Amino acid sequence: MQAKLNERDRPPRTPTPGDPVSAPLTDGARQRTSFLNSLFRLHYTELVGRLRKVYGVGPPDPEDVAQAAFSKLAELDDLERIHSPRAFLFRTAVNICLNSNDKLKRSRAFVRSQFESNFSQRLEEKSAESVFMGKQDLERVAHVIRQLPSKQREILLRSRFRGQTYDEIRQETGWSQADISRQLNKVMALLQAELDR
């Protein structure tokens, strides 16, 4: 059941799409901006806290997801149709997290499959062409790894080659788990992009 807003909490009617951008704000536009700002002040901290509790520190980053949810709400032309802006924000944020996590899982699975396919078969079972292509892939990956900033390279080596957990890396380096996760995701995306070329 959706909660109804009081009349004073209802968003104002939005200005017509034909309004020139350079024109001064109308009362309706000011009311809309004020309404969106008050929603942001009321729900941003709670939304980030809930995302952090349910999905952890990232990826995706809870602050980025909350900002994206507010952006989706602000893009709507007719805010009056939203019976519960808070529920809209929370549902949108959850959907963004789920989509991001699915994409991240697919990316990691693809990179893992590429690594495994290059190393799992015995050399004598491979054709000369597949050996050559595998060698090219490895050279491209090695090139990307050499180009990484030292922090990202260190995180990749510790996580993927030494098998350390984020917590073990955090304890040994002093970097936050959120930063470790973000940096590793950037590296994996770079490696995947290189393998896709």
pLDDT tens column, 20-39 = 444 456 777 888 888 888 88
Cα angle at 82 between 81 and 87, to 5 degrees? 165
pLDDT of res. 29? 80
Q: Which residues contact 5 (CB under 8 A, 6 or more apart)?
A: 83, 84, 85
Distance from first CA to last CA of the chain, Å, rounded? 49
DSSP 74: H
Q: List, in order of start, the domains of the chain with CATH numbers.
A: 7-100 (no CATH), 121-196 (1.10.10.10)
CA-to-CA distance for 179 and 183, rounded, in angstroms?
Answer: 6
Position 22 scores a pLDDT of 43
Q: Which pLDDT value is given to residue 120?
A: 54
**Torsions phi, psi of 194, nearest 5?**
-70, -40
Give pLDDT < 70 ranges for the chain: 1-25, 58, 101, 114-126
Give dist(CA 30, CA 53) in Å, integer.
34
According to the model, what pLDDT value does residue 119 have? Answer: 57
